[in-house]
Chain A
Amino acid sequence: MTLTVGAELPALSIPPISRSTLALFAGASGDVNPIHLDHELAQAAGMPDVFAQGMLSMAYLARLLTDLFPQDRLRSYGVRFAAITPVKGEPTCTATVTSIDEVDGEKRATLALVVTLADGTTTLTGDAVVAL
Chain B
Amino acid sequence: MPISPDAVGTVLPSISMDMERGRLAQFARATGQRDPIYSDLDAAKNAGHPDIPVPPTFLFAIEMESPNPFAFATELGIDLKYVLHGEQRFDYHRMAYAGERLTATSTITDIYSKRGGALEFVVKTTAVTDEAGKPVADLTGVIVVRNPGVGS
Q: Which residues of A lie under 8 Å from residue B72 when comparing CB positions?
A: none
A14 within 8 A of B: yes
**In the complex, A11→B27 CA distance in Å?**
21
Which chain A residue shows the least CB distance to B38? A66
**A72–B92 alpha-carbon span in the complex (Å):** 9
Question: CA separation between A75 and B56, bound complex, in Å?
Answer: 10
- Contact check: which of B32, B85, B91, B95 meets A55 at CB < 8 Å? B85
Q: How far is the CB of B136 from chain A (nearest CB, A)?
A: 12
| A79 & B88 in contact (Cβ 8 Å cutoff) | yes
Chain A hits for B33, CB < 8 A: 63
Does any Cβ of A come within 8 Å of B76's Cβ?
no
Contact between A28 and B88, CB atoms less than 8 A apart: no
* Contact of A54 with B88 in the complex, beta carbons under 8 Å: yes
How many A residues are at the interface, by size bracket? 20 to 34
Q: A interface, by DSSP: helix, strand, loop or mixed?
A: helix
**Chain B residues with a Cβ closer than 8 Å to the other chain, count:** 32
- Given known A63-B32, A77-B56, contact A24–B26 (CB-CB < 8 A): yes
B69 — which chain A residues lie within 8 A by C-beta?
Answer: 30
Q: Check B109 for interface membership: any CB of A closer than 8 A.
A: no
Bound state CA distance, A54 and B41, in angstroms?
Answer: 28
* Residue A56, interface by CB 8 Å: yes
The reply to whether A59 and B31 form a contact with Cβ atoms under 8 Å apart is yes
Asked if residues B31 and A25 are in contact (CB atoms below 8 Å), the reply is: yes
A24 to B29, Cβ gap below 8 A? yes
Bound Cα distance A80, B86 (Å):
6
Q: Beta-carbon contacts of B50-85 to A below 8 Å, as 1s and 0s?
A: 000101111011001100010000000000010011
Chain B residues near A74: list those with CB within 8 A. Answer: 56, 92
Question: In the assembled complex, which residues on chain B have CB atoms less than 8 Å from the CB atom of A21?
Answer: 30, 32
List residues of B (114-148) whose CB comes within 8 Å of A's CBs: 140
Listed by A's residue number, 25 A-B pairs whose Cβ atoms lie within 8 Å are A28-B29, A28-B31, A29-B58, A29-B64, A30-B65, A32-B64, A45-B81, A55-B57, A55-B85, A58-B57, A59-B57, A62-B55, A63-B32, A66-B35, A66-B56, A67-B35, A71-B56, A75-B91, A75-B92, A76-B91, A77-B89, A78-B87, A79-B87, A79-B89, A80-B86
Given contacts A77-B89, A78-B89, 4 further A-B contacts (CB under 8 A): A56-B31, A76-B91, A78-B88, A79-B88
